[in-house]
Structure 1
Amino acid sequence: MKIAPFGVEQWMNEYETRCTHNLAETCVESLTVAQLLDLAGHGDSLLRQLLPLKLTYGAIEGSDRLRSAVAALYDRQAAGNVMIAHGAVGANHLVHLTLVEPGDRVVSVLPTYQQHYSIPESIGADVRLLRLREENAWLPDLEELAALVDGGAKLVAINNPNNPTGSLMDRAFLEQVVRICDHAGAWLLCDEVYRGIDQADPGTTVSVADLYERGISTGSMSKAFSLAGLRLGWVVGPTLLIHELSVHRDYNTISVGMVDDLLASVALESAPAILDRNRALTRANLATLSDWVEAQPQISWVKPQGGTTALLRHDMPMTSRQLCVRLIEETGVMLTPGSAMSMEGYLRIGYANNPAVLADGLPLLGGFLDNA
C-alpha cells in the first residue's frame, strides 16, 4: 500500500529538535507527573496503585476504569461505546481501515489532519475535499457538503475545533452537518482532540457521537489534556462499530500500556481541573497572540474560537516553507509551513505552550518579518 508522505509530521521530525522557540507546538503545555497528581489531588497515593501493578498486557480493550472515565466526557455514552487506542492517530487510523473500502466515497474537510484524506486515498477510496475558506470563518460550506455527499458517501471526516484554523462548529452547526450526513446515509467521523478548550464558556462543544447514530468521535490525552507522552487515545461510537474496530485493533494494538492506562484514568477522573487549567492558559496565550497579530502588517487571520493553533496568512515574497526554514535558521523560532498541510501562503502557529515561549518567540518572529 502506498500512501502520501505526512507533511506536518515530516516537517516536525526534521526541525523540532533544531529550534529554540517552538511556536509549532499543538499540545497544551505538557504536565509533569507531579503536576498531574497535584491537579488530581492524589499526592503520593498513586504509588500505592502503581507499585503492585503487574506489567502484563492488562485489559486488552482498556480497563473498565479508563473506558468509564472516557465515557463520562460525553453526554450519552457508556463504557461499551469506547475503544482505547494508541493515541488519536491510532484511533483515526482504525476508523478509516474499518469503514473504508476501495471505491467508497469519502468527504474530508481541508485543511485538517492529513490522516483523514491520505489514508482513505491509500485504500483506493474516492476522496472528495471540502475546502474551508477564510470568508466563511474556516467553517464548512453546507451546500458544498450536501453536493459532495449527494448520491451516497460512506464517510464524512471533520475535526472540531479545527486544526489548523481553530474554527469551531457549535451545536446548531453540527446538527446541520448531521442532517446532511443522515440524508446521505454516511458515517460522520469527528476528530475531537481539541475538544474542551474552547475560547468561550462553557469551554466544551457537544460531541458528534452524542448527536448522531452514525456519529464517531475520536479523542486523546495529548492536546486538551496535556499528556501526549501517554500515547493514549480513543474512539467513541455505536457498540456494533466498536466491535468491528476491535477486530482490526487486534492486528495492530493488542493493548495500551498499563501505566498509561492508569495515569490516563487518574487524569480523566480529574478532567475538570485539567481543562480549567488549560482553558486559562490557552485563553491568556491567545490574547497575547491576538495583540501581536494586530500589530503585524504582513499577517492576517481569522481569530481561533477553540483548539491550540491559528492559521496566519502572510504576504512575504517567498513560499511558506522557505519562510519557515529561514525563520528557524536565523532566529530559532519554529512555525509550521502551510505547504505541509496543502495550504500554501499560510503559516500555522501554536499558542498553547508555556507563555514564556510565546512571549520570547513572537518579538523574534515580528523582527524577522520586518526585515526579511
Structure 2
Amino acid sequence: MKIKPFKVEQWMNEYEMDAIYNIAETCVDSMSLSELIQLSGVDRESLLDEILDMKMTYGYITGNPRLKDAIAGLYKGIERDHILTTNGGIGANNLVLNTIVEPGDKVVSIIPTYQQLYSIPESLGAEVHVMYLQKENDFLPDMKKLKEMVDGDTKIICLNNPNNPTGALIPDQMMEEIVTLAKSVDAYILCDEVYRGLNQDGSYHKSIVELYDKGIGTSSMSKVFSLAGLRLGWLVTGDEELMERLFSHRDYSIISCGVVDEVFGALALENKDKVLGRNLKIIRENLKILDDWINAHERFSYVKPIAGTTALVFYDYDISAFEFCTGLMEHSKTFVTPGSCFEYENSFRIGYAASREILIEGLKNLEDYCKGLE
C-alpha cells in the first residue's frame, strides 16, 4: 500500500523534542499522573498498590468496562456496547477508514483537517473529493458546495469537529443539515471529535453519534484530557452491523489497550468535571493572550477559534510557511507548525493551550523573529 507522507506528524517528529518554546503542541498543557491523582482525590498509595499488583495480561479485549462506562458519560444516549477502545484517536480513525473504505468508493472530506481523513482513503484506492474551507466563511463548510459533491455514490463523509487547525466549530444546526444530506444517499459520517468538550463558552456540543445512526465519532484522552501519553482513544457508533465489522477488523491491529493506561483513563473521565474545569480555564486565559497579540500585530490575522486548542494564523511576509517555521525554530527554538502541512500557505498552526509562560515567551520570540523579516 502506498500512502502520502503524513506532513504534520513528520514535522512534529523532526523538531518537537528540540523545541524550548513549544507552541505547536495541540494538547491542553499535559498533566503528570501525580497531578491527575491529586486532582481526582483518590488515595495515592492505594491506587499505586492496586496498579503494582496488577498482572500484565491483555486485559479486557474490547476495553475495560469501567473505562467504557466513563466514556459513555461524555455522550447522551450512548451505552458501553456502542464503544470500542483503540490506541489513541489516530488508531480509531485508522480502524474506521480501513473497515469502511474499499477501492473505487467515493469519499468526501474537508480540508484543513487531520491528514488521515483524506490520505488513508486515497491509499485504499478510494476516489477522494475534498472541499477546502475558507477563511472568509469562518472555516465552516459551504453547504451548497457540499451538496454538489455528495451523491448516491458517496460511501462516507469525513469531518473534523471542532476543526484542527482552525478551531472552527460546526454548529448543531449545520451538523443536522449534513446528517440530512448523508441520509439522503445512505452515507456514513466519520467525525473526528478529539477536541470536543473544549468550547470557549463551555456549552455542550452534540456528537455525530447523537445525531445520526450511521455516524461514527472518534476521540481520545490526548487533547481535551491532557493525557496523550496514555495512548488511549475510542470510537463510538450506534450502527450494530458496523460495530461487528469494526470489531472484526480490530482483531488484526489492536487486540487490546494497556491495562494500566485504562485505569488512569477511567480515573480521568470519572473526574471529567475537574479535568475540564482545569483545561477550560487554560484555553480561555491563553486564547485571550493570543487574541490580544494578533490584534496588536497588523501583519498577522486569523479567525478567532470557537473551540479546541489551535488556531491557523496567517502572516503578511514573502516567505513560505516551511521557511517561516524553520527560521523561527532556528531563531529561538520556538516551535509552530507550517500551514502547508494542512495545504494552506503563508500561515502556521499555533497551539495556544501550552503553559501560560511558554505561550507568552513563544509569542515574544515570534515578534522578535519577524523583525528580521521586515
TM-score by length of 1: 0.98
Structure 1 residue 93 and structure 2 residue 94: aligned?
A: yes
Indicate the residue corresponding to 2:139 in structure 1.
138
Which residue is 1:207 aligned to? 207
Q: Give CA-to-partner distance per residue, 1:4-28, whole Å, 9 cap, x none.
A: 0000000011111222100100000
Q: Secondary structure at the match of 1:218?
A: strand
Q: How does 1:149-168 map to 2 (within 5 A)?
A: 149-168=150-169
* Conserved? CA contact 2:209–2:217, under 8 Å: yes
Offset of residue 68 of structure 1: 1.0
Give, as a single letter, the amino acid of the residue that structure 2 aligns with 1:82: I
Does 2:252 correspond to 1:247? no
SS of 1:252's equivalent in the other structure is coil
Which deviations, in whole Å up to 9, do the C-alpha atoms of 1:40-87 show, x marking residues without a partner?
111313124313211100011111111111111100110000000000
Report what 1:368 is aligned to.
369
Match of 2:52 in 1: 51
Retained in 2: the 8 A contact 1:102–1:125?
A: yes
8 Å contact from structure 1 (residues 64, 79) kept in 2: yes
Deviations 1:201-250 (A, max 9, x none): 32x31100111011110000000000000000000002322221111111
Structure 2, unmatched stretches of 5+, are: none
Q: For the residues of structure 1 that align with 2:7 and 2:288, how far apart are their CA atoms? A: 29
State the identity as a percent: 47
In 1, the alpha carbon distance for the partners of 2:84 and 2:251 equals: 12
1:18 aligned onto 2:26: no
Following superposition, the deviation at residue 340 of structure 1 comes to: 1.3
> Residue 31 of structure 1 aligns with which residue?
31
Partners of 1:108 and 1:43 in 2: CA distance: 46
- Match for 1:108: what amino acid? S
Would the aligned equivalents of 1:298 and 1:369 in 2 still touch at CA under 8 Å? no
**CA deviation map 1:240-282 (0-9, x unaligned):** 2222111111111111110001110111111111111101100
Aligned pairs (5 A) from 1:327-342: 327-342=328-343
1:188/1:214 contact within 8 Å kept:
yes
Give the deviation of 1:185 after TM superposition: 1.1
Q: Given the alignment of the two structures, is residue 260 of structure 1 paired with residue 225 of structure 2, yes or no?
A: no
SS of residue paired to 1:35: helix
Q: What is the CA distance between 1:315 and its match in structure 2? A: 1.4
In the alignment, which residue of structure 2 is the partner of 1:7?
7
**What is the aligned partner in structure 2 of residue 64 from structure 1?**
65
User: 2:93 corresponds to which letter in structure 1?
Assistant: N
* Distance in 2 (alpha carbons) for counterparts of 1:147 and 1:185: 16
Alignment match, 1:111? 112
Post-superposition offset of 1:135: 0.9
Mean CA deviation greater in 47-56 or 317-326: 47-56
Matches of residues 291-310 of structure 1 in structure 2 within 5 Å?
A: 291-310=292-311
Query: 1:72 is aligned with what amino acid?
Result: G
Runs of 4+ in 1 over 2 A off after TM superposition: none
Q: Which amino acid aligns with 1:232?
A: L
**Over residues 70-106 of structure 1, what are the superposed CA-to-partner deviations in whole Å (9 max), with x where a residue is unaligned?**
1111001100000000000000000000000001110
1:193 alignment partner, SS class: coil
Task: Tell me whether 1:229 sits opposite 2:232 in the alignment.
Answer: no
Asked if the contact 1:24–1:350 (Cα under 8 Å) also holds between the matched residues in 2, the reply is yes
Corresponding residue of 2:198: 197
Q: Which amino acid aligns with 1:10?
A: Q
Aligned counterparts of 2:243 and 2:87: Cα–Cα separation in 1: 15
CA contact (8 A) 1:152 1:185 kept: no
Once the two structures are TM-superposed, the CA of residue 181 in structure 1 deviates from its matched residue by: 1.0
Once the two structures are superposed, residues 101-142 of structure 1 have per-residue CA deviations (whole angstroms, 9 ceiling, x without a partner) of: 001110110000000000000000010001100111000001
* C-alpha separation in 2, matches of 1:64 and 1:19: 39
**What's the counterpart of residue 318 of structure 1?**
319
Whole-angstrom CA distance in 2 between matches of 1:310 and 1:208: 23
User: In angstroms, what is the RMSD of aligned CA positions?
Assistant: 0.9
Matched-pair contact (CA < 8 Å) for 2:202–2:280: no
SS of residue paired to 1:190: strand
* Paired position in structure 1 for 2:290: 289
Residues in 2 aligned to 1:171 and 1:357: alpha-carbon distance in whole angstroms? 34
SS at match of 2:251: helix
Counterpart CA distance in 2 for 1:21 and 1:47 is 33
| TM-score normalised according to structure 2 size | 0.98
CA contact (8 A) 2:221 2:228 kept: yes
Mean Cα deviation higher: 113-122 or 34-43:
34-43
